[in-house]
Amino acid sequence: MRSWLDAAADLVIGAQCPGCARPGLGICRRCADRLRPVPRRVPVAGAGLTVVAAGEYRGVGERVVRRWKGAGHRPSAQWAAHAVATCVVELGVESPLLVPVPATRRSRRRRGTWLVDDLARDASALLRRHARMDASVAHLVRLRRQTADQRGLGLIERSRNTRGAFAARRATGLRPVVIVDDVVTTGATMQAVAVALAVAGWNVEGGVAALATPPPGDHRAAVVIGASEG
């Protein structure tokens, strides 16, 4: 019965699994198994900021994220939120304020929404419902200037592009802050956001992302270090 429904959905509305393109209404079981979050600490540019991602930005994970960001595919968005929530739990932060990385005007126009804010809100809801965690979303950071598109930029260029690009509201409490993004590459954006928050007096505990990708120009396999390792 299930296979008939999947085939019918594909014929009628073109529904496919974003991971493997098999007919279906969401992420198929095989791809879901491959996408099972495995939170790991990701080496990022600079020092002092712990960033955790749930997997690597390649293969099934990359296709699912692209489908979410490009077409607003709801099952893919739900998976990304689950991945981010798992990373917040891995950080071990109690009562976190989830701070989404600000989007440029260009990005909001292109996608019609602030995707990372949607991601943070969905993850916060999951944390409250399933982890009984007092998590909430706070818009503490704004863009001081519009940055260039990070795609195609190398490590040094990304750092220059984001340095000083953000400003944060002055701290009004002691709750720990966790920065949220969809995909982390060099970590330059998260570092710049973390600096702005720290200058404003916030207690930044780390950053989380659904997936991590190797830095531009690094042709080796993505290096992902276990969170319990040094």
For residue 157, is pLDDT > 60? no
In the prediction, which pLDDT does 106 show? 79
How sure is the predictor about 176, in pLDDT bands with cuts at 50, 70 and 90? very high
229: exposed, middle or buried (C-beta count within 10 Å: 0-12, 13-18, 19+)? exposed
The larger pLDDT score, comparing residue 37 to residue 145, is at: 37
In the prediction, which pLDDT does 36 show? 96
Compute the average pLDDT of residues 27-37. 96
C-beta of residue 46 within 8 angstroms of C-beta of residue 94: no
The string of pLDDT tens digits covering residues 46-70 is 668 999 999 999 999 999 999 999 9
Compute the average pLDDT of residues 72-98. 96
Angle at 83 between CA 82 and CA 86, to 5 degrees: 85
Closest to 74 measured CA to CA, from 26, 33, 16, 30: 26
In the prediction, which pLDDT does 178 show? 98
Stretch among 2-11, 89-98, 141-150, 202-211 having the lowest mean pLDDT: 2-11
In the prediction, which pLDDT does 230 show? 28
pTM: 0.82
In the prediction, which pLDDT does 2 show? 43
37-212 maps to which CATH number? 3.40.50
In the prediction, which pLDDT does 98 show? 98
Half-sphere exposure of 207 (CA within 13 A, CB side): 32
The string of pLDDT tens digits covering residues 199-227 is 999 999 999 999 999 755 543 333 333 33
Domain with CATH 3.40.50 in the chain: 37-212
